[in-house]
Structure 1
Amino acid sequence: MTALSIGVLGLGAWGQTLSDLFSRQGHQIKVWSRRSGGSPLEAIRAVDLVLVAVSLAGSKQLATDLAGDWDLRVPLLSCSKGLDPETQLTASQIWQAANPELNPLVLSGPNLATELAQGCPAASVLAGVELDRVQQLQRQLSSDQLRLYASADPLGVELAGALKNVMAIAAGICDGLKLGANAKASLLCRGMAEMGLVIQNLGGEQGSLYGLAGLGDLLATANSPLSRNYRFGLALAGGASASEAQASVGATVEGFKTAQAVAALGERHGWSLPICQQVVRTADGRSSPQEAVHALMQRSLRDEQA
């Protein structure tokens, strides 16, 4: 394996974990974060790959600041998950909006940072429209600890990774209310239907919904106390406000802002997204968790595939 020089933007839990993981593989890592200070330009110059793991909110300004400084021969690998509530753009779309000549790749999957940091194995999806480049990086970045699968559907993979955070919040609310296994299984199944509706209508491929970035990531984040979004839902079920729930998690919770963005898309296009809408209403304080459950159970009856 040829060692790469990798610039990493963002040293939160995920950025730090990926930096450590790729460093142990023998790759040379150059890092930048807002907390450490300095210029992000130092992390993107003279490298073979730029890995972006900043929050979605942080991506907007950073993408604008760096728009004129990219070496377009160097791939940008977006590892951030979410939808911006103002623009309804994914992380890679934010970068591309600032610099239309960029052609970002996406990394997403059931990758709880704490488990990877502890040395546990995992798999993820590396996606991009240039499949040759994707497969080359797949070979260079895969290891005994992180197995990468290639995909030519970056939009579907990225949307699946963002949308499952909304359903992980709903799962946390469900468990916090002690509604049982039947209710949670039903919730997640109908949540998958909502995710599929959004992915299909925004131009992603349905197959990505049932892969590692969709179903795989949902299984991890909807069932693990390591998931920030799941813990956020648990806190809401316990009566916390959104700000209190965020404070209890102690880290960025992308699922709430993603829920707001998806709900806005649903209202604009007339999509039926009841779980997403109830997550927003609960977090906004317009409905109690119990009222949200009641609203979902009282919806008009329909065919399962409708």
Structure 2
Amino acid sequence: MAQTTLAILGAGVWGRTLGELAASNGHRVKFWSRSGGESLQAVVSCADILLSAVSMKGVRQMVEQVRGWPLPERAIIVTATKGLDPETTLTPSQIWQEVFPDRPVVVLAGPNLSKEIQKGLPAATVVASKNVAAAQRVQALFSNSRFRVYANQDPLGVELGGTLKNVMAIAAGTCDGLGLGTNAKAALLTRGLAEIIRIGTHWGAQAETFYGLSGLGDILATCNSPLSRNYQVGYQLATGGKLPEILANLEGTAEGVNTTEVLIQAAKAQGIYVPIACEVYRLLKGEITPGEAVTELMLRESKPE
């Protein structure tokens, strides 16, 4: 692949990690952040590929800022944010595509714990777009011997897998914090995947996507690692922590907290059955204890698998 200029919006851990991967492949990488010295216009105007790695709460504001500057003619937009917009329930890629309808938008998601990738440990991810050529360009940008990148044509499924698994990671951390054992966690994650598929297909994603890296793969990574911020939220709640203090001490944003609230609002409005997400929501709101959440899930009406 010819040398490409990658402009990354957001200089957090994930954005920096992706930038290092592209740079190791010989590409030019430019970062923009509010605390940085370079203007947004300067960074955007030189981008062959524009990658957004800001937190969910900053996505819409970032999109509105970028629309004020002309992008290079063939520039591709990539989003690496996982979340749902509180006002519209749109995903990050949907927000970008809404404002830039004629631009290819690519979603990047997978079982990608930044600190492991920074250590050079092997990992894989998915880049997804309706525009196959755009996905393939992004695939080539990041692929190397330690980071395997797969292309996919279901961007909504890839994005929802990476987003909704954060809700399940809070539940998984709670399970481990309570010391409930392997059987309980296996049951939780299996039913959690079923819940994610139920939501995703209701919103128009393909069921098979959730059995891939951005669904099942991301669940296995995020729901089993103390490196996951969302897992830490659940674990610390189960061991006596208070949510405001937990969030204040995290290194970065636990997107699953906002995602849970938006998901519950949408599920209620659309009649989607989300029992695990409901208990996570009640736990985050302080309406029940971690132990009571487990009891509620175990005592639900018996039903076929």
Instruction: Please indicate, yes or no, whether the TM-score normalized by the shorter chain is above 0.5.
Output: yes
**Amino acid in the other structure paired with 1:149:** Y
Output the amino acid matched with 1:97: E
**Identity across matched positions, percent:** 45
Residues of 2 paired with 1:29 and 1:140: CA distance?
11
Q: Normalized against structure 2, the TM-score is what?
A: 0.96
- Residues of 2 paired with 1:193 and 1:263: CA distance? 16
Residues 190-213 of structure 1: CA distance to partner in whole angstroms, max 9, x if unpaired? Answer: 100110011101111111100000
Mark the runs of 5 or more structure 1 residues left unpaired by the alignment: none
Indicate if the aligned counterparts of 1:77 and 1:104 stay in contact, CA closer than 8 A. yes
C-alpha distance in structure 2 between counterparts of 1:150 and 1:99, whole Å? 22
Q: Which amino acid aligns with 1:5?
A: T
Q: Find the residue that maps to 1:162 and give its secondary structure.
A: helix
Deviations 1:208-241 (A, max 9, x none): 1000000001100100111111111111112222
CA distance in 2, matches of 1:102, 1:277: 36
- CA distance in structure 1 between the partners assigned to 2:240 and 2:88 by the alignment: 30
After TM superposition, give the deviation of residue 70 of structure 1 in Å. 4.1
Q: TM-score by structure 1 length?
A: 0.96
Which residue in the other structure is 2:44 paired with?
44
How far did residue 114 of structure 1 move?
Answer: 0.3
Q: Distance in 2 between matches of 1:249 and 1:137?
A: 30
> What residue in structure 1 maps to residue 257 of structure 2?
256
> C-alpha deviations, 1:156-206, integer Å up to 9, x for none?
000000001110110000000001101000000010011001110111111
Q: Distance in 2 between matches of 1:156 and 1:85?
A: 19
Write the distance in 2 (CA, Å) between the matches of 1:250 and 1:138.
28
2:77, 2:184 → 1: CA distance? Answer: 40
Range moving further from structure 2, 229-238 or 129-138: 129-138
Q: CA deviation at 1:153?
A: 0.4
Deviation at 1:30, TM superposition (A): 1.0
Secondary structure of 2:31's match? strand
1:8 aligns with 2:8: yes
Deviation string 1:244-263 (CA, Å, 9 cap, x unpaired) is 22123232100111111111
Match status 1:135 vs 2:130: no
RMSD: 1.3
Name the residue aligned to 1:57: 57
Alignment pair present for 1:205 and 2:206: yes
Q: In structure 2, how many angstroms separate the alpha carbons of the residues matched to 1:224 and 1:250?
A: 15
Question: Secondary structure of 1:94's partner?
Answer: helix
Q: Secondary structure at the match of 1:150?
A: strand
SS in 1 for 2:82: coil
Partner residue, 1:286: 287
Structure 2 residue runs of 5 or longer lacking an equivalent are none
Paired residues in the alignment total 304
SS at match of 2:54: coil
Aligned amino acid, residue 144 of structure 1: S
Residue 125 of structure 1 pairs with residue 126 of structure 2: yes
Given residue 81 of structure 2, which amino acid in structure 1 is its aligned partner?
A: S
Match of 2:219 in 1: 218
Q: 1:73 is matched with which residue?
A: 74
Residue 101 of structure 1 deviates from its aligned partner by: 3.3
What is the CA–CA distance in structure 2 between the aligned matches of 1:139 and 1:98, rounded to whole Å?
A: 26
Deviation at 1:43, TM superposition (A): 1.5
Deviations 1:91-144 (A, max 9, x none): 111222333333310000011000011111110001000112212332343111
SS of residue in 2 equivalent to 1:250 = coil
Offset at residue 82 of structure 1 (A): 1.1
131-140 vs 1-10, which moves further:
131-140
**What is the rounded CA distance, in whole Å, between the counterparts of 1:242 and 1:35 in structure 2?**
27
Does structure 2 retain, via aligned residues, the 8 Å contact 1:174–1:184? yes
